[in-house]
Structure 1
Amino acid sequence: MQRTQSLLLARLARANPTSVFLVTLLLVLVALFAPGPVGAVLLLALAAALVALLSTTWSVQAPQTRVVRLLMLTLLVTAALAKLL
């Protein structure tokens, strides 16, 4: 591991992609079925984690990937705000 790499990023790189997908899917489903503000807070917490991950990996992503990730993030935040109202 290089000195510039974060320990958190090294752990994330070793994570099983299927497990990460399933845990994220479970979190989204719980947030969507949870009542009003509770679900919105869960969705916003997930969005905040994705913003942190997106900002960390921004420089190594292709422009097409950046657009898709920003679109997904926008949809997630929109769903959270709609759930608040």
Structure 2
Amino acid sequence: MQRTQTPVLSRLARLNPTTVFLAALVLVLVGLFAPGVAGGVLLLALAAGLVWLMTVTWAVQARATRMLRLVMLTLLIAIALAKLL
């Protein structure tokens, strides 16, 4: 393990990408279909985790990937805020 790598990132790197994608998809769908505040809070919690992951991996991502991730994160946060209101 590199000096700058945390144990959490090491564990995330070993996970099956398909499983992680499906788990995130389930969280998003539950957040979208959950009524009102519960769905908004779940989506905001998911967005917070994604913000943390983006800040950690920002330096190694291509410019196009960064922009796409920012757009998707902005959409997720906008939907979460709309559910809260």
Per the normalisation by structure 2, the TM-score is 0.97
| Equivalences for residues 7-22 of structure 1 within 5 A | 7-22=7-22
**What CA deviation, in whole Å up to 9, does each residue of 1:31-58 have, x standing for no partner?**
1110100000000000000000000000
Identity of aligned residues (%): 68
Measure the CA separation in 2 of the matches of 1:81 and 1:53: 21
Matching residue of 1:63 = 63
Q: RMSD over aligned Cα, in angstroms?
A: 0.6
Aligned: 1:28 with 2:28: yes
Farther-moved stretch of structure 1 (1-10 vs 65-74): 1-10
Q: Within 2, Cα distance between the matches of 1:2 and 1:83?
A: 41
Q: Secondary structure of the residue that 1:5 maps to in structure 2?
A: coil
Partner of 1:37: 37
Rounded Cα–Cα distance in structure 2 between residues aligned with 1:29 and 1:19:
15
